[in-house]
Amino acid sequence: MQTMDAEQNLIKARDEVFRKIGRNLLNFQKIELMLKHLITNGRLSGHMSELNDILERQASAVHKQTMGSLVGKFVDNTFLGIEESSQTSPELKEPYFSFSFNVNADSHFYESKKQALKSLVDDRNDLIHHLLPRFNSESIDSCLETERYLDEQREKLIPEYDYLKSLIDDLNESRRLSADYLSSDEGIKQIELSFLQQSPLISLLLNISIQKPRLDGWTLLSVAGPEIRRILPEEMDQIKNRYGYKTLKEIILASEFFDILEEPTKKGGVRVLFLSKPELAYVAFNRLLRALLGIAKKKARADGWTLLSIAIQQIEQSFAEDFALIKEKSGAQSLKELILDTELFDLLEESLDNGSLIHLFKPKAELALGLCSKKN
């Protein structure tokens, strides 16, 4: 009788071990699927007509990756926001969509989450590759010990499972809200406005407004027309056909980038002028850019590099308001940061004999050449 009871207890304990092995394996698979979902859907950028193809390529890229690789990619993408490659601005052939899901976390949380997920990878590998060889299915003690091990393993994975599940819920809600907005009247209006504002035509109008203004800063619309026909002969017709505008004035007003002024002429007519809105900081940025180029030209050392401290002093003395406006709009906190953001200058750090550092800047070769060509 005792032998029969012992046999039944062994069978029951062994079945429980196998059940818990399956339970833990299923949970690990769910975690792996959640990581793939977060990696695939956490970032999406592209032209609207290409988004489905891009999403399919992203899903395919993670389909066969190991759990260790998935954890590394998830942590870097979600907590650090690491870009896989440096991308230039896309050609604006249609509305461009960009979505990124990130978690704000301090270094302590980042490290703890990284270690917790890495520990899950180790536990999963141990379960799949090492547990059965050391498990004695004919020993009640081995069964009970393995069962305790599997329960402890589950207790470790459940918090990470719940955390990933909460992130997926947040991600799906963010995507739902984005989709609702993009399909709303206001969303459609903003997409079309963004397309117009980023068009080559509006960029050209901004450039004309700073290159050919009157002394009071306003630019004649009659000056812009011939320039557009010369530089972008087809763009005007494309914009008119897309939005239904009939005149250049309507396009300028619709862009929301300019103020419009109508002045009476001596012959009883009306002249139309335009000026980029001050809050865009476009004019301020160009003034600051030309000031930096002027400082670099006048104060450069023999090797072409200019002390950043000289530029900071002169900018603060002569362009304080422009610089303050640009910092407000760009988010840059210093002239060095602004120079880096423009990608128009090279920066250099040099060590002095006393161990301190100095910062220098120099216009990129193509920028300097382009400005020389304009002057000529």
Shared-domain flag, residues 266 and 293: no
Shared-domain flag, residues 266 and 167: no
Shared-domain flag, residues 50 and 121: yes
Shared-domain flag, residues 299 and 333: yes
Shared-domain flag, residues 33 and 158: yes
**Mind giving me the DSSP string for 91-147?**
P-SS-EEEEE------HHHHHHHHHHHHHHHHHHHHHHHTHHHH--TT-HHHHHHHH
Helix (H) or strand (E) holding 281: none
Q: Encode pLDDT of 109-151 as tens digits.
A: 888 999 999 999 999 999 999 998 999 999 999 999 999 999 9
Residue 95, domain member (yes or no) = no
Residue 90, domain member (yes or no) = no
Shared-domain flag, residues 368 and 245: no
C-beta neighbour count of 274 within 10 angstroms: 24
What residues form DSSP beta bridges with 219? Answer: 274
CATH number assigned to the domain comprising residue 334: 1.10.10
Residue 98, domain member (yes or no) = no
CATH number assigned to the domain comprising residue 264: 3.30.420
Residue 89, domain member (yes or no) = no
Last residue of a domain, one of 231, 259, 277: 277
Q: Encode pLDDT of 308-335 as tens digits.
A: 999 999 998 988 888 888 888 778 888 9
The one-letter code for the residue type at 336 is K
Q: Encode pLDDT of 8-64 as tens digits.
A: 889 999 999 999 999 999 999 999 999 999 999 998 888 878 888 999 999 999 988
Shared-domain flag, residues 24 and 135: yes
Residue 188, domain member (yes or no) = no
Shared-domain flag, residues 353 and 335: yes
Last residue of a domain, one of 277, 310, 340: 277
Split into its structural domains, the chain has a count of: 3
CA neighbor of 78 nearest in space, from 114, 52, 108: 114
Shared-domain flag, residues 361 and 246: no
Residue 143, domain member (yes or no) = yes
Residue 332, domain member (yes or no) = yes
Shared-domain flag, residues 119 and 223: no
**How far apart are the C-alpha atoms of 213 and 210, rounded to whole Å?**
6
> Residue 336, SS3?
helix
Percent pLDDT > 90 in the chain is 47
- Any long-range contacts for 257-265 (C-beta under 8 Å, 24+ apart)? 257/197, 257/202, 257/205, 257/206, 257/282, 258/205, 258/209, 261/218
Shared-domain flag, residues 239 and 336: no
Exposure letters 40-61 (e unless 16+ CB within 10 A, then b): bbbbbebeeeeeeeeeeebeee
Residue 291, domain member (yes or no) = yes
Q: Encode pLDDT of 65-114 as tens digits.
A: 999 999 999 998 888 654 444 444 445 556 677 888 888 888 888 889 99
Last residue of a domain, one of 277, 309, 341: 277
Task: Give the domain extent around 343.
Answer: 282-375
Q: Which residue has the tokens 């026909």?
A: 229
pTM of the model: 0.63
Shared-domain flag, residues 270 and 288: no
